[in-house]
Structure 1
């Protein structure tokens, strides 16, 4: 009986897992105007995945305690246009949409820790918001990619990727969770918390404390470029709202503007 009572007391008064973490960096986006340029570098132009949007700095701004990344339907001339080019970044004379992508590549990176974001995403057709990380050494995907939050085509995704024997062809640990499995018709109208818990042994990805996927890092080793350790090196953070592209879907029936609203980004490491 004594052991049962003791076990119950330990359960009631257990130190929460959060107690092992120390906040080492955060952006609460409390200053109005452009995101802190000492931290966030905006990407520019056509960047990846044959997406439809032109990335530009002015589509990301802080207002009312939120970082707002806004996608707009507007025509922008491509200064790199070359008629007849086989390069998708050059053969489009115009972009039909604009948006923003922010990265800490030149300012901040962290190896291991708890990465957390509280945000509200637009889940309409053709939109592709993401909160993700890349390793600082090696070409993609050998440097390692972690998609803490990714959404497209009515699904949340939680992904970890690293290098295969073929260049630019990753090995994926990818979990897709359809939004209707939350059984909440107003899920997309609310803010949610996504997080990654990452240490030398594993990566675990959550939404609102629900574990979406985990990865044993002893098995996440580049097949070809083994000298690059994709998940045993610092990673930097990216925040973006893409439109269309390889996975994003068809935005033609969606009314713009669309918004990816971020309350905070916080990084914790173990004490």
Structure 2
């Protein structure tokens, strides 16, 4: 009798533990208003889940130093790790150092990294987007967690930078096409020194966006960094795309150098962007 009772208690305890684990993401905020609609917890070692992510390849944007390749993103011990490495390889797209396209001017690849995107696989209009991560802050590092609209070319499709870091600064941004200028930015900047914690960059932090038809609110550790009016991006007389009133897909990447990342130093590599989870919640009906 005691044996069966003990076995019953053990099984019950295991089931309770598993139930708690499954509902961890769903109850992360303790907010009855939201339900979990998508997440990646990065629990399986190896390549990132191909049902969730595509990988960019090559020199892509902002004259950044890194060549994006899938080999620099991997899951280990419950984390997604995106690693910037110093390498020396031939640029297969090189044509001439005088070519008008900067991507074809470079004869070699000196830095590699990864950019993962959900484009063509997952996108969402409105909700609560959250990432728990530890960001690299060595010289030249430019990690980001951001979104782009599925319709239109940049900047008309709209960009939201839930987390962007470079040269000692945390940025919370949104960008769109304006009738007064090609790109309009709503940006707030916070210096790392503003956190008054010398070990801040060595810790994990929670980055969050709350987005609805009226506003985009960007947070770190529940501290509001920036609030953007959705209607401010809908002012063009001939506007056909409403950048923040359409589905967006996610990007998570570690860029290096380029127009904003800053100069590299010998101790810049390797650098690791370590992500615990990425989750998307939406309001219940």
Query: Does TM-score exceed 0.5, indicating one fold?
Result: yes
Asked whether the 8 Å contact 1:101–1:240 carries over to 2, the reply is: yes
Q: Deviations over 1:38-92 (max 9, x none)?
A: 1110000000000000000000000000000000011121111011212100000
1:2-35 CA distances to partner (integer Å, 9 max, x unpaired)? xxxxxxxxxxxxxx87221100000000000000
Partner of 1:146: 160
Q: 1:117 to 1:155 in 2, by over 3 A?
A: same
Match of 1:131 in 2: 145
Partner of 1:268: 281
Question: Which one of 17, 22, 31 corresponds to residue 44 of structure 2?
Answer: 31
Mean Cα deviation higher: 213-222 or 169-178: 213-222
- The match for 1:90 is 104
- How many residues matched? 255
The gaps in structure 2 that reach 5 residues or longer are: 1-28
Cα distance in 2, alignment partners of residues 166 and 39 from structure 1: 37
Contact 1:70 1:100 (8 Å CA) reproduced: yes
2:140 and 2:268 in contact (8 A); partners too: no
Partner of 2:119: 105
Q: CA deviation at 1:223?
A: 3.1
In the aligned structure 1, how far is the partner of 2:235 from the partner of 2:256?
Answer: 30
State the partner residue of 2:186.
173
| Deviation digits for residues 148-181 of structure 1 (CA, Å, limit 9, x no counterpart) | 00000100000011102378x3100011100000
- 2:246 aligns to what? 233
Deviations 1:173-200 (A, max 9, x none): 0111000000000000000000000001
Is structure 2 residue 264 aligned with structure 1 residue 251? yes
Question: Secondary structure in 1 aligned to 2:31?
Answer: helix
Q: Is this contact kept in 1: 2:139–2:268, CA < 8 A?
A: no
> Partners of 1:205 and 1:265 in 2: how far apart?
15
The residue that corresponds to 1:209 in the other structure is 222
Q: CA deviation at 1:254?
A: 3.1
Indicate how the Cα distance of structure 1 residues 165 and 125 shifts in structure 2: closer, same or farther if over 3 A, else same.
Answer: same
Does the 8 A contact of 1:24 with 1:268 survive in 2?
yes
Return the TM-score normalized by structure 1: 0.91
Could you say which residue in structure 2 is the equivalent of 1:62? 75
TM-score norm. by structure 2 comes to: 0.87
Say if 1:118 and 1:225 are closer, same or farther in 2 by CA, change over 3 A: farther
Report what 1:74 is aligned to: 87
Q: Following TM superposition, by how much is the alpha carbon of 1:125 offset from its aligned partner in structure 2, in angstroms? A: 1.0
Larger Rg: 2
Structure 1 residue runs without a partner (length 5+) = 1-15
Residue pair 2:178, 2:233 contacting (<8 A) in 1 also: no
Given that residues 164 and 224 in structure 1 are in contact (C-alpha distance below 8 angstroms), is that contact kept between their aligned partners in structure 2? no
* Higher alpha-carbon deviation: 84-93 or 247-256: 247-256
